[in-house]
Amino acid sequence: MLNAKEINLVGLAIALLFIGCVEPFEAEVLDFENALVVDARLTNEVKQQQISLSRSYRFGTEALLPETDASVQIIDENGTTYPFVEDEPGFYKSTSAFAAQPNVGYELSISTTSGTLYQSETVVTPESVAIKELKAELDVSDSGEEGLQIALTNESARSEATYFRVEYEETYKIIAPFYNPSEFEVVDSLYFTIGDQDSFEINIIGRTEEAQTCYGTNISTAILLSDSEGNSGGQTGKTTVRFLRSDEFMISHRYSILVKQFGLTQEAHGYYATLDDFSSSEGVFSEVQPGFLKGNITALNSDELVLGYFEVASVNTKRYFFNYTDFFPQNPLPPYPINCEPTGAPPLISYNPHIDGEYIVDEASPQSPLLNGILSGAIAYHAINEEYVESEDVIQPPAGEAPYFVKATPCIDCRALGSNVKPDFWVE
């Protein structure tokens, strides 16, 4: 049995999009079935293992409904019980740190406050296979775009087929192109009120926090599977984890990817493959027949459907760094995700006294673009408008003039796109 990973037949069928079309639609809400969702992943890392329990919700609604106050435990085939306690609503942590041992079977059992008992099949920890190599290579995508392919290869060939699910966490350096060491400070003015409206003093102060260099992080959401079934000598071959276009903003400076390879059982791999089939982009012509996807957990004393899976995995991770210039020394940097060319000069409105040559006070009215922009975080301080004349003797400067030049916040302050805390693993 070969997994359909390479045979993405459904994808091919978009050929006729030119006359056909695929468009989003507001799906009607039909029947709803309330089911327990088990998201349980036991790994071979020594840690407080975590299991999350929630309920399914009506299609189209956002509410995440945690399953609270359940009793959760994992029992291994030697009879050892690992109890779990609720840490946050719906999140259960093992009371002690432990790791799944190779070739040992585990069972998950859950009992909810409604009295329903759930039991998983026994899952034996698959053997661990280390990642041999993780690297990026220049490549051309399926649709003909130049870029980098990040692929992993595995350590050793085994006679038995091995199955993997791959997740990644990518972190990339962001440098604000119009970084300014100063920023606006907005202070509720104690001195002025106009009618019911409050007033604010706007000032320029030196930055106290890092805002030039930040780090953005994305976590993979798609299901990425690989296996060595059908390969000679049990090799897993090369698994493409990520394809990044050469003009992808994330790789502008330095990029790092942490790849987690979860060694799975064949059954778990099959479960994920089907889940992926049911939830990935279908073709226009042929659509995989969906149906209820049964995991390895069943309700013992009820007919209730159970969603999710109790996965026991052996995890191996590898991190990889590269700079844009390693691959594209000649290219200009990829474009920043927002256009930083426009510079704005939001005018002051109405009553704009100016005190001591330091503060600009503006009304907190909907009409003040400057104040609204600052308070909403959309704009950041770029420069002083030199043409704006400060006049000592004029108590009320003319309205409609702009004291400052501003730009969109992400152009000046990288915190709009990432965190200014350098991750522990980061190496330059």
Partner 1 sequence: MKNTILVFLLLFMCNILAAQEPAEKVTLSYTDATIKDVLNRIEASTSYQFYYVDEWLGGQMVSGSYEDVPVTEVLEAIFKNTILNFYVLDNEKIILTQNNIIYDELPKGFFEKSNLQDVQVTEEVDDTGSLNPVFVADERLPKQRAVETVRIGKETLDNQKQRYTLSGYVKNARTGKPIPDLSLIIRNRRVGTVTDENGFYEILVPVGENLFETKALGIESQQKRVLIYNDGQLDFDLNESIEQLDEVVVEADKTKNVEEEITGSTTIESEETKDIPMVLGERNILSVATTLPGITNAGEGATGLNVRGGKTDQNLILLDNGVVYNPTHFFGIFQALNPFVTKGVDIYKGNVPAEFGGRLSSVFDITTIDGNVDTFSGEASIGPVTANLMLEIPVVKEKSSLVLGGRGAYSDWILRSLDEESLKNSSASFYDIVANYTHKINENNQVKATGYYSKDAFSITSDSLYGYSNRLFSFDWKHKFNEKNNGNLIITNSEYAFDIDFDGQANNDFNLGYSIGETEAKLNFKFLWNDNHTIDYGISSKLYNVKPGFIEPTGTESIIRPFSVAEDRALESAIFIGDNIKIGDKIGIEAGIRYSFYAALGESTQRVYAAGQPRNQATLIDSVSYNKNEIIKTYGGPEFRISGRYSFSDDFSVKAGFNSMYQYIHTLSNTTTVSPIDTWKLSDSNIKPQRSNQVSLGFFKNFADDMYELSLEGYYKTSEDILDFKTGAQLLLNDNIEREVLQGEGQAYGVEFLVRKNSGKLNGWLGYTYSRSLIKFASDFAEERINGGEFFPSNFDKPHDVSLVANWKFTTRYSASVNFSYQTGRPVTYPIGQYNFNNSEYVFYSNRNEFRIPDYYRLDLGINIEGNHRIKKFAHSFWNISVYNVLGRANPYSVFFVSEGGEVKAFKSSIFSIPIPSITYNFKF
Binding residue (CB under 8 A) for partner 1 from 80, 193, 279, 343: 279
Nearer to partner 1, 6 or 386 (CB): 6
Class of residue 84 by CB neighbours under 10 A (exposed 0-12, middle 13-18, buried 19+): buried
Q: At its nearest, how many Å lie between partner 1 and the CB of residue 268?
A: 11
Considering only 111, 240, 372, 385, the residue that binds partner 1 (CB under 8 A) is: 240
Contact predicate 39/90, CB 8 Å: no
Select 285 or 425, whichever has its Cβ closest to partner 1.
285
**Smallest distance, partner 1 to C-beta of residue 307, A:** 5
208 interacts with partner 1 by CB under 8 A: no
State which of residues 232, 329, 357, 393 lies at the interface with partner 1 (CB under 8 A): 232
For 12, 99, 319, the CA distances from 45, given in Å and listed in that order, are 40, 5, 17
- For the CA atoms of the chain, what is the radius of gyration? 28
Question: If binding is defined by CB under 8 A, does position 11 make contact with partner 1?
Answer: yes
* Position among 104, 275, 345, 349 found at the interface with partner 1 (CB under 8 A): 275
- Minimum distance from CB of 8 to partner 1 (Å)? 8
CB of 109: closest distance to partner 1 in angstroms?
19
Site for partner 1 in 112-141 (CB under 8 A): 139-140
Q: How far is the CB of 401 from partner 1 (least distance, A)?
A: 44
Binding mask 295-334 for partner 1 (x = CB under 8 A): ----------x-xxx-------------------------
CA distance 393 to 391: 6
159 lines the binding site for partner 1 (CB under 8 A): no
Q: 410 by DSSP, 3-state: which? A: helix
Binding segment (CB under 8 A) for partner 1, from list 118-126, 190-198, 282-290, 325-333? 282-290
Q: How far is the CB of 348 from partner 1 (least distance, A)?
A: 41
The answer for residues whose C-beta is within 8 angstroms of residue 392's C-beta and 6 or more apart is 357
8 A C-beta contact, residue 226 and residue 164: yes
**Should residue 277 be labelled a site residue for partner 1 when binding is judged by CB under 8 A?**
yes
- For partner 1, the binding residue among 22, 130, 187, 389 (CB under 8 A) is 22
Backbone angles phi, psi at 274, to 5 degrees: -70, -40
Structure tokens at 39: 């998201």
CA angle 96, 102, 106 (to 5 degrees): 60
Site for partner 1 in 25-64 (CB under 8 A): 25-27, 30-35, 37, 39, 41, 54-61, 64
Q: Give yes or no for a contact between 187 and 203, defined as CB atoms under 8 angstroms apart.
A: yes
Q: What is the C-alpha to C-alpha distance for residues 220 and 124, in angstroms, rounded to an integer? A: 26
Q: Residues with Cβ < 8 Å from 62, sequence gap 6 or more?
A: none
